[in-house]
Every structure is written in C-alpha cells, then in structure tokens.
Amino acid sequence: KNEVEQSPQNLTAQEGEFITINCSYSVGISALHWLQQHPGGGIVSLFMLSSGKKKHGRLIATINIQEKHSSLHITASHPRDSAVYICAVRSGAGSYQLTFGKGTKLSVIP
Amino acid sequence: EAGVTQFPSHSVIEKGQTVTLRCDPISGHDNLYWYRRVMGKEIKFLLHFVKESKQDESGMPNNRFLAERTGGTYSTLKVQPAELEDSGVYFCASSQGTRSSYEQYFGPGTRLTVT
C-alpha cells in the first residue's frame, strides 16, 4: 500500500513569494497528480505526470522517480492561489485507484 | 462540454436515514470513481466503475454503502442506514477510455452531514 506524505501541512506566504509544496510516496507509481481545492469548491486537476517536469502558467510540477518525490512550485504567488493542494498517486501500470496525501493548505496574504 | 456534476451539493440527514448521492460523469467517459473525505483525513478511494460494471470496490467501507451505474451513464451511491461516521465530502470523478493513464476529472462533491 502506498503511503503519500505532503509537507508542509499549512503554509502562509506573502503575495509575490515563491512557494514549494512537497510530496513523497513509498512505493513506485505509474503517475502522480497535483490537485487544487478552493474553499467550498470542487477539486481541479493541475498536473498529471510520470517523469520530468511540467509547467502551466505560474505553476511548475516536478517529479523524481528514483527519489519517490514530487514538488509543486508556484511563482509570484497571488491571493487567488489560496487553496488546498493535494498530491495523489496511482500505483503501478493498470491501476486506476488513487492514493491521496492529506493536502497542503496555502494562504497567500496580500 | 459539461464537467462532472454531483447532486445534491449538501445533504443533512439523521442517523438511521437513507441518502442517495448522484454523479453524472463527463459524457463518453467509461470510467467513474467515487471517493470520500472525512473530517481531518485524506481523500480515500471507494470504488471504480467501467461502464456499468464494478471494476474495483475494495474501498467501500461496509455493506451499508451501495453503488450503482445502470446503463453505464450516471451513478448513484446509497448509504442505508447512515451513521455518524459517514459524514464527509463524497467526490465523484470520471476518465475516458480504458487506459489507466487517462486523467481523472473531479466533480464538486456532495457534503454529507449525519446528525
């Protein structure tokens, strides 16, 4: 069974700061997802990656398969980035089930 | 294109009552998933449909939970009888095709409160 750990659990940043959220997992995976949930809102998929790095706007996600570790970076953070960021992994080829981390609550202060 | 929709958005019921949650996946998505987040815990997998068939129901907590997907379109998740520990947010997601690499799209969730 895969264990997914995220850090930090809570993060407060000033607007404009560079933010990093980390995710580590215990067992090899076929894919890793970064998800975003705004207060009272649904879950939005930000990235799905199995190797390397992906970038979308001010968001960057990286994964190191050997280290079993992924990071989500937000450049030039903005108050609208305030949300819970969740890491989820899919273990092994052919597996559909996602295992989730507990999430990182980000608050960006103007 | 419409996303994954869930109904109701919020349900408050008393212990012992029955509640039915509904999920409408993105049109054409064969795969449908149910997840649940209870207070203070991580989101956990409940089950996975491929069309109308249950592919994996290993996450269903007990036999008070019944999921159906008649006709391979929308799905329902019935909790009968509801217990206090069933409170939480129930998410539905869908993905297309049969390859497990396809991205999952999540619905807004149904917040269930059992009093």
- Structure confidence by residue, pLDDT tens digits, B12-26: 999 999 999 999 999
Q: Is A7 near chain B, with CB under 8 Å?
A: no
State the DSSP code for A30. Answer: S
* CA separation for the pair B49, B92 (Å, rounded): 11
Q: Which residues of B touch A86 (CB under 8 A)?
A: 43
* Mean pLDDT of the B51-80 span: 94
Identify the residue with better confidence: B101 or A97: A97
State the DSSP code for B84. Answer: G
Burial class (CB in 10 A: 0-12, 13-18, 19+), A22: middle
- Asked if the model's pLDDT at residue B98 lies above 70, the reply is no
> Smallest CA–CA separation between A3 and chain B, in Å?
11
What's the pLDDT score for residue B73? 93
Contact B48 A97 (CB under 8 A): yes
Out of A96, A100, A103, the one facing B100 most closely (by C-beta) is A96
Nearest CA in chain B to A30: B101
Contact A97 B101 (CB under 8 A): no
Phi-psi region of A57 (alpha: psi -120 to 50; beta: other; left: phi over 0): left
What's the pLDDT score for residue A52? 94
Out of A41, A95, A101, the one facing B108 most closely (by C-beta) is A41
- Residue A69's pLDDT band, with cuts at 50, 70 and 90, is very high
Percent of chain A with pLDDT over 90: 77
Q: Which residues of B touch A88 (CB under 8 A)?
A: 43
Condensed to tens digits (0 to 9), the pLDDT of residues A19-62 reads 999 999 998 888 899 999 988 778 999 999 999 999 999 999 99
- Asked if the model's pLDDT at residue B107 lies above 70, the reply is yes
- Residue B102's pLDDT band, with cuts at 50, 70 and 90, is confident
Provide the sign of the torsion angle of the four alpha carbons B36, B39, B43, B46, taken in this order.
negative
Bridge partners (DSSP) of residue B20 are B78
Provide the sign of the torsion angle of the four alpha carbons B49, B54, B58, B60, taken in this order.
positive
